[in-house]
Structure 1
Amino acid sequence: MSKPTYVLLPGAWHSPDIYKDVADSLAKHGYPAIRLRLPSFDATPAHYDFSADVAAIRTCLDELVSQDKDVILVVHSYAGLPGGEATKDLGKKEREAQGLKGGIIRYVVINGFVAPPGFQPAPRGDYSAM
């Protein structure tokens, strides 16, 4: 049985380099780890919603589960919002019920946010608070 792949998502204003030591330690124990750079990191102009981050995370997760891999998703701070949104229907049990292999087996939140499906911090298009 292969070891799960870790997908490591940094918080806002953080480069994925914050996970370098963690990824190196995981690799020493035979665990693959992906340090994903979110499109909103250092973006100019700034992103006003998290849709680009959700899409990037979903693409990464889709690629892994389509290869029948088990995934442990680790999110820090802000990444809990797009990370949670990107996981829809990718849980291991959900995929097994469809006769599929692979899926998310753990969702680890480090000092982050967990929001209900479809969460928006402000009405779409209302940027007055930003």
Structure 2
Amino acid sequence: MSKPHVVLTPGAWHTPQCFELIIPKLEKAGYTVHTAQLPAVGSDNPPQDLSQDVAKVQELVTRAIGDGNDVVVVPHSWSGVVVSSALEGFGKKQREAKGQKGGVIKLAYMCAFLVPEGVSLMDAIQGNIGPWWEVQASCTYSVVVDPSVFYQDLPPADQEKYAAMIKKHSFGTKKAKSTGAAWREIPLTYLICEDDLAIPLFAQELMTNAVKDMGGEIETERLKSSHSPFLSHPNYVVDWIRRAAGEKL
């Protein structure tokens, strides 16, 4: 039996390059990996709602399902809002009920925003823009002014390397309300990063506890990591994704 395909969605300001340490390890373990830069990141004509990002995630997942593959979707940070909005109806159980093969068997949220329908990232942070990012160009873009907040547990040279990859991000997509909550339908595992400076521990715990209170099917694991565990703890993250895919490790 073939292994599930894995879809990785980068967070705000980031491109798929941030996953360069974990993709080869997943492929070596027998997984087919799909990822793409989301439209909100790096565009000179940025979208002002989530529709383009939702469409890109749906395209990725549809490609991963193919002729009937199982799929694990791994959103990081802001892209958790996009994935929640994009994947209602993409769960394996929901697809099988319509006579379709394959589908998403697990959402694996990696220190990602986990919100119900009608809630934006800005709602989730109560409108509080941290000192490490700011809004520019007539509220069109959000830019990072202190990228070390993502990478404080990496060596200085690596912090500089990955900070140089950061791009501008559409501010409109941070204000845009989520349009779905796929985690109500699809089993969810959440990697809580205890040393995260971008989404602090208390915020991750609030979101995961809220999902439990709303009846969501959720498991959690905890890791002493920054906001970028795929860089600081790549082997752990790969094993966590493999567990999400059903392996016993």
TM (normalized to structure 2)? 0.47
Partners of 1:23 and 1:35 within 8 A in 2: no
Write the distance in 2 (CA, Å) between the matches of 1:30 and 1:72: 14
CA distance in 2, matches of 1:117, 1:66: 28
- State the one-letter code of the partner of 2:76: H
In structure 2, what is the equivalent of residue 63 of structure 1? 63
* Partner of residue 2, structure 2: 2
Q: Distance in 2 between matches of 1:118 and 1:52?
A: 17
Provide the identity percentage: 35
Alignment map for 1:20-31 (pairs within 5 Å): 20-31=20-31
CA drift at 1:113? 1.1
CA shift for structure 1 position 68: 0.6
Alpha carbons 2:89, 2:95 under 8 Å: kept: yes
Give the Cα–Cα distance (whole angstroms) in 2 for the partners of residues 49 and 39 of structure 1. Answer: 10
Residue type of the alignment partner of 1:84 = S
CA shift for structure 1 position 40:
1.2
Alignment length, in residue pairs?
Answer: 125
Could you report, residue by residue, the CA deviation over 1:25-55 in whole angstroms, capped at 9, with x for unpaired residues?
0011111111221111101133322211001
Q: Confirm or deny: 8 A CA contact 1:9 1:76 kept in the other structure.
A: yes
Q: Deviations over 1:72-91 (max 9, x none)?
A: 00000000011111111010
Whole-Å Cα distance in 2 between the matches of residues 121 and 25 of structure 1? 31
Q: List aligned pairs for 1:1-130, cutoff 5 A.
A: 1-120=1-120
Unaligned runs of 5+ in 2: 123-137, 140-170, 172-249
SS at match of 1:77: coil
Contact 1:7 1:36 in 2 (8 A): no
Instruction: Tell me the amino acid that sits aligned with residue 6 of structure 1.
Output: V
- Report the 3-state secondary structure (helix = DSSP H, G, I; strand = E; otherwise coil) of the residue aligned with 1:71: strand
In structure 1, the residue matched to 2:205 is none
For 2:110, the aligned partner's letter is I
> Aligned equivalents of 2:88 and 2:65: distance in 1?
12
Give the partner amino acid of 2:59. Answer: T
Q: Residues 75 and 112 of structure 1 are in contact (CA less than 8 Å); yes or no, is this contact kept in structure 2?
A: yes
Using the TM superposition, name which of 106-115 and 59-68 deviates more.
Answer: 59-68
Match of 2:226 in 1: none
Deviation at 1:62, TM superposition (A): 1.9
Residues of 2 paired with 1:20 and 1:82: CA distance? Answer: 22
Rg comparison, structure with higher value = 2
Amino acid at match of 2:90: L
Secondary structure of 2:27's match?
A: helix
Separation in structure 2 between the aligned mates of residue 75 and residue 56 of structure 1, nearest angstrom: 13
3-state secondary structure, aligned to 1:72: strand
TM-score between the two structures when normalised by the length of structure 1: 0.86
RMSD value, Cα = 2.0
